[in-house]
Amino acid sequence: MRSGIPEGATEADDRAGVGAAGVDTAGVDPADVDTAAPEAGQGRGAEACPTCGEPVPVDPRFVTWCAACDWNVDPVDGDTGPDPEPDRVERLRRAMAHRYGEQLFADLAREPDPGSGAPPRPGAAGVLATVLALAVHGLTLVVAFLGLWFLIAGWGEGAQPVIGVLLLGLAVLLRPRFGRLDERAELPLLERADAPRLFGLLDEIAAAVGTRGVDAVVLDADVNAGVVTYGLRRRRVLVLGMGLWAVLTPQERVALLGHEFGHYAHGDTRHSLLVGSALNSLTTWLYMLEPSPGRSLLDGFSNLLTALPRWGVYGLVLLLDQATLRASQRSEYLADGAAARIAGRDAAVGMMERLLAASSAETALGREVVAARTRSGGPARRGAPAGRRDEAADGLWERVATEVRRVPAHEYERLRRAGELRGHCVDATHPPTHLRIRHVARAGRPKPGLELGRERAAAVEAELAKPGLTVARLLLRDGAA
């Protein structure tokens, strides 16, 4: 087992997905799918709804709301309120994501097997994305060529060599980045020899969805998971958040892995070598052209000077988004369908439902960090004695899982309804989550294609025990891992 994390890699999935269930679709109502938390706690009392008078459960840990009339289903105060208001560009991207998500949901509903569609043909949008990506990389080459020309042709003639060096430095900053594995990171990095049972499971799930497995697995503390590729050889890494893995049942873990490998199987243009590296380059451009927050005359002049290229880059980002969004969202739907086929409908919907309670897992992790620091006398310093902090790491993931299992069914239902009201999605590249969970409910099969038995699940868990403990210790030491 080594330590490492992919740097600057092309992400095939930013997040497994956060869902909000919907109404009956194609004869399957997501509400009928068994996704209740295994040990969900019950309400601690009841009071009358101020709007309709119906009794509503009261639990001081969660929002009080009415299932009969939706009173207070999406409060606007505190952390439970609506998503933060995005900036102008992000609003445009989310609007496109919502529009395409609804169109694709309707299109997939008309397919005979909505969960196993083929990767889309490139079409005009794919050709446009390729042309734009080549233009982005071509501009970097032009900058590099001009830098060489000024440096060589203008050598010894005033400021021309200096301009050449500056242009070459700019070209280096704007160059395509293919990612690399940072082995200096302390996060556990597992290879096949470290966890043969885990990799055997990953290979089997990957083969079932029509792709190959990963070359390495990196563990962190996030309530999240994703697959990334890095390097010219496009090596694959599964980044597995222990904060998510711990709260899932064994079969829901199969659904999570099926979703992640589904991205590779269904060809997302946005994460190809050419287009993905172009998007990464545009992100670097935006960072370099970010307006200065200062109020001096020099800052104002600098912001004015960079305004035109900055908006040009914004336009390129939106155009490339427009050209790749439909294919990316189709890949997302098909990845969800792959999870439902492999793990079974109940497990796939259950996995997405657990993600609705991600904030409960994050809160539990935060409490663990605060409690560990309180017992040990404050934040740790690297090299300081571990002491009680290491003791607190033992059983941390089990305690977090217990907290999530105590989330009552009525809180899951509130989160589903609130998500649908907001048109919530994970980010601007994902379809609306309530449509994703409807798609999973109709695309999946009641019986799993691959069932993770108790003994095999325990063997995989045993391989993750030691690296998982390392992640817990890093979390308690640094407050993040």
Q: What pLDDT does 65 receive?
A: 92
pLDDT recorded at residue 389: 63
State whether residue 235 is helix, strand or coil. Answer: strand
Strand partners, 48: 55
Rounded Cα–Cα distance for residues 187 and 1 (Å) = 10
Residue 218 in this model has a pLDDT that exceeds 60: yes
Can you give the pLDDT at residue 2? 59
Instruction: Please report which confidence band the pLDDT of residue 121 belongs to, taking 50, 70 and 90 as the band edges.
Output: low
Tens of pLDDT along 459-468?
999 999 999 9
CB 205 within 8 A of CB 342: yes
pLDDT at 417: 85
Q: What is the mean pLDDT of residues 154-164?
A: 77
Q: C-alpha distances in angstroms, 229 versus 5, 263, 264?
A: 11, 12, 10
Predicted pLDDT at 127: 84
Using 50, 70 and 90 to split pLDDT, how confident is the model at 469?
Answer: very high
Query: Which pLDDT does position 312 carry in this prediction?
Result: 86
Range picked from 118-132, 170-184, 447-461 for highest mean pLDDT: 447-461
Mean pLDDT for all residues in the chain? 78
Residues across the chain: 481
pLDDT at 243: 94
pLDDT at 123 over 60: yes
Greatest mean pLDDT among 18-27, 86-95, 303-312, 368-377 lies in 303-312
More confident residue, 179 or 462: 462
Closest CA to 214 of 176, 261, 253, 247: 261
pLDDT at residue 31 tops 70: no
Distance, CA of 122 to CA of 262 (rounded, Å): 18
Which H helix or E strand runs over 239? strand 235-241
Name the residue type at position 213: G
- Each residue of 278-292: pLDDT tens digit? 888 888 888 888 887
C-alpha dist (Å) from residue 406 to 39, 43, 250, 298, 360: 6, 10, 18, 56, 10
Q: pLDDT tens-digit profile of 190-203?
A: 999 999 999 999 99
Asked if the model's pLDDT at residue 204 lies above 90, the reply is yes
Higher pLDDT, 265 or 460: 460
Beta carbons of 55 and 425 less than 8 angstroms apart:
no
Burial class (CB in 10 A: 0-12, 13-18, 19+), 468: buried
Q: What is the pLDDT of residue 91?
A: 65
47 against 174, higher pLDDT: 47
The pLDDT confidence band at residue 93, using thresholds 50, 70 and 90, is low
* Strand-by-strand arrangement of the 2-3 sheet: 2-3, 188-190, 216-220, 235-241, 225-230, 10-11
Summarised one tens digit per residue, pLDDT across range 346-369 is 999 889 888 878 888 999 999 998
* b/e code 225-260 from CB counts within 10 Å (16+ = b): bbbbbbeeeebbbbbbbbbbbbbbbbbbbbbbbbbb
Please give the model's pTM, rounded to 2 decimal places.
Answer: 0.78
Dmax (CA) for the chain in angstroms is 86
How far is Cα 90 from Cα 416, in angstroms, rounded to an integer? 23
- Assess contact for 335 and 259: CB atoms under 8 A: yes
Q: What is the pLDDT at residue 385?
A: 47
Alpha carbon distance 410, 40 (integer Å): 10
pLDDT for 122: 60
pLDDT tens digits, one per residue of 393-443: 889 999 999 999 888 888 888 888 887 776 555 555 677 777 788 888 776
The pLDDT value recorded for residue 189 is 92
Q: Measured in Å, how far apart are the chain's first and last C-alpha atoms?
A: 17
